Structure 1
Amino acid sequence: MFTFDQLAGFIAVAEELHFGRAAERLNMTQPPLSRQIQKLEKTVGAELLERDNRKVELTPAGRAFLDEARRLIALAERAPVTARRIASGRSGHLRIGFTAASGFSILGPLLEEAAEILPDVDIDLQELVTGEQIMGLQTGELDLGLARPPFDSDVFDSHLLYREAMVLAVPSGHPLADLDRDITNEDLKNEPLIMHSPTKARYFYDLVVRMIPVQHANVIHTVSQILTMVSLVAAKRGVAFVPHSATLLGIQAVEFLPLQSSVEDPVELHAIWNRNIRNPALSRLLRALEFGDN
């Protein structure tokens, strides 16, 4: 295998087309430079230079090899810099999981901050429910999650991003919208409900049934995504309990009404990450955002 010294010697001769000037440029004498070129040609298995007492010229093989030699030298010079940037968190990849609801609320502003803090880090986004994010964080397939509680605080560190209220989405012109007050359990007694899936949207399902004695006989649709729920409300299929951030969806023909509740702003979204952080870019982001002690 050839050495980088041999490549550097060949590049110098190829650019100077003169062994004496090339040797001077490399701060060496001409005989060892000639030996380097001979060893390089033997390793490559082709004559790279035509030389006589008057001139030095590149062979066709030499011209082709020159481009590759320059590329190899550039990579060798760049590799330590790249390694240092990745070790410091200035380069690399950051894989972020997010719930659908966070996608139309906090995800955009968070990505803007991340881009300012880590301009040379590639960010990979994956829309996943909380359970899938937790699995990804445990296996190392994700670096950061935007997810709902609960999660194991012995395994994961976290930062509360925001809290918000639950509201009732109703079709425009619905009689409940004329009450001009918080909606009570009694108001919902005979309303057709679009409900969260108890498996795929477990966090919202548990939250709603703790807040409101849901009449399961009234449930006509069970879905997992907030966008789907609001779209079904717009189609006058029923009413739905959604986080206040759903108002940002901008879906027409839907009104959002306050709910009477003993818990103020019960909906939580957390940034969560494995306590055993292996990604320097994540550590750098967490420090800059002042999340936890990182």
Structure 2
Amino acid sequence: MDFFELNAFLTLSKTLHFAKTAEKVNLSPSALSRLITRMEEEAGCRFFERSNREAKLTEKGREFAAFAEKCLQEKEDIFTKLRSSGSAVTGTLKVYASVTACYSIMPPFLQKVAERLPDLHLNVQTGDPAQAVQAVKNGEADVAVAAIPETGLSGMDCIPVRRTPLVFAASTGGPYEKVSGSPQDIVSSVPLILPKTGLARERFDFWTESRNVKPQIAAETEGNEAIMALVQLGLGIGLVPHIVLTNGPYEKGFTCHAAGNALGSYEVGFIQKKQYTGSQSYKKMRMEIDKILHE
């Protein structure tokens, strides 16, 4: 067995899904299945109970996962030691952020990281902000930018950066540039473009259900950028955090319709696990990142 195989096995042990794991390790699902079978044959035991494309770890599979994780951590430690000079902080920090966050929240953070940790490698993944929490929970990201509920996030260290209200965005010059009435009147009469999931959608659904409002939903999509693209086409008004309209490419060409107190505001900031494990070099890196985040 080599390091690539151990990493593929460990990734599958966390996702328990062959197709998702295959995409992460750049293999086809069938190739991944053959790889796992070869590893099981070499070990002389079954690591997974398989059902279609999903998998469940056996007891021996859990034991081997602990070994694989320790082995990969020690590999990272020795490689870091060989590459580094002195006490430099090295390694790879995995960050998950939406495109909007890359325009607004991320720049000051990245600047500090570059200044203090010049040997650190950054792996930034962009995507739907509603998936940020899960990305950290699954280990796909060490740090993420996310909407922070008033009650916080269980098991997460939350560092608020900016408070933003939820608003409705319309295309300037489009059919919904000018709308009037209460938020209740607007959502029941104007086509809406909503996020499929996330804190904004939870707030919206709770409010409409509590007021017995029947919204006119034109489209549901993932990510604020997709919402804004459909808004620009004139399909309706989109529910987004106000920060989307004040940063990046959406500062011009769009009109903001306030939602009043109906949907409220929330904090946007960084999240990370309160506790983390890994190699000594990884822990050292995370301690330095923790200092930067809390400043």
Which TM-score tier does this pair reach, normalised by the shorter chain?
0.5 to 0.7
Q: Which amino acid aligns with 2:258?
A: P
Q: Percent identity?
A: 17
Q: Which amino acid aligns with 2:234?
A: K
Q: Which amino acid aligns with 1:202?
A: G
Q: Which amino acid aligns with 1:281?
A: M
Q: Which runs of 5+ in 1 are unaligned?
A: 1-75
Residue pair 1:230, 1:254 contacting (<8 A) in 2 also:
no
Q: Which residue of 2 aligns with 1:196?
A: 195
Q: Which residue of 2 aligns with 1:160?
A: 160
Aligned residues: 207
Q: Could you say what secondary structure the match of 1:260 adopts?
A: coil
In structure 2, do the counterparts of structure 1 residues 202 and 154 end up closer, same or farther at CA, with 3 Å as the change threshold?
closer
Larger Rg: 1
Q: Could you say what secondary structure the match of 1:147 adopts?
A: strand
Give matches, 1:141-290, under 5 Å: 141-149=140-148, 153=153, 155-173=155-173, 177-178=177-178, 184-197=183-196, 201-212=197-208, 216=214, 218-247=216-245, 248-251=247-250, 253-261=253-261, 264=264, 266-278=265-277, 279=282, 280-290=284-294
Q: Over residues 80-131 of structure 1, what are the superposed CA-to-partner deviations in whole Å (9 max), with x where a residue is unaligned? A: 6827535xxx222211112344233212232122211212111111124467
Pairwise CA distance, 1:243: 0.7
In structure 2, do the counterparts of structure 1 residues 166 and 110 end up closer, same or farther at CA, with 3 Å as the change threshold?
same
Residue pair 1:182, 1:258 contacting (<8 A) in 2 also:
no
Q: Over residues 222-260 of structure 1, what are the superposed CA-to-partner deviations in whole Å (9 max), with x where a residue is unaligned? A: 111111111211111111111112112434542112221
TM-score, normalisation: structure 2: 0.59
Q: Over residues 15-46 of structure 1, what are the superposed CA-to-partner deviations in whole Å (9 max), with x where a residue is unaligned? A: xxxxxxxxxxxxxxxxxxxxxxxxxxxxxxxx
Q: Over residues 136-171 of structure 1, what are the superposed CA-to-partner deviations in whole Å (9 max), with x where a residue is unaligned? A: 434544221212345985532221122101111112
Task: Tell me whether 1:82 sits opposite 2:80 in the alignment.
Answer: no
Q: Which residue of 2 aligns with 1:107?
A: 106
Q: Could you say what secondary structure the match of 2:189 adopts?
A: coil
Give matches, 1:12-161, under 5 Å: 79=81, 82=84, 84-85=86-87, 90-129=89-128, 132-149=131-148, 153=153, 155-161=155-161
| Stretches of 4+ aligned residues off by more than 6 angstroms | none
Residue pair 1:169, 1:240 contacting (<8 A) in 2 also:
yes
Residue pair 2:92, 2:121 contacting (<8 A) in 1 also:
yes
Pairwise CA distance, 1:216: 4.9
